[in-house]
């Protein structure tokens, strides 16, 4: 079993940075390309239980979020966020790193190294 799970988006430079950092640290990492293997509602709920950041932070409030006509105030609790991200995985913030019973959003980049060392 890998030491760290990285929910990764290959198109994201910050996510690629997290992958490079785990590889340089010689940490055993399980890379999950969550756009190819979307997380289920239950997997997202589990991730949110471990997340040191707020549930609302896991949702990208980007162009697609706006195009869907969504309101950020509606996506602040675990249930609402898990439901949204199960339906729209592209809205998940990236990268997300999981180590044991802890998880973080790897933004800004300096959080990645600190998390891996902790």
* Dist CA 58 CA 104 (whole Å): 9
Phi-psi sector, 39: left (phi>0), alpha (psi -120 to 50), beta: beta
Q: How far is CA 11 from CA 15, 21, 48, 87, in A?
A: 8, 16, 23, 20
Active site (catalytic) residues: 12
Angle between helices 110-117 and 13-24 (to 10 degrees): 30
Q: In the structure encoding, which two tokens stand for residue 48, read together?
A: 């949110």
């Amino acid at each position: 079993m890998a030491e760290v799970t990285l929910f990764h988006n290959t198109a994201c430079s910050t996510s690629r940075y997290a992958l490079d950092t785990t590889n340089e640290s010689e940490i055993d990492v399980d890379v999950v390309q969550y756009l190819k293997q979307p997380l289920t509602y239950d997997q997202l709920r589990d991730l949110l239980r471990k997340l040191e950041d707020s549930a609302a932070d896991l949702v990208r409030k980007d162009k697609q979020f706006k195009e869907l006509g969504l309101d950020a105030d509606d996506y602040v609790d675990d249930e609402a966020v898990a439901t949204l991200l199960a339906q729209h995985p592209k809205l998940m913030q990236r990268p997300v790193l999981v180590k044991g019973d802890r998880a973080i959003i790897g933004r800004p980049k300096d959080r990645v190294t600190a998390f891996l060392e902790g």
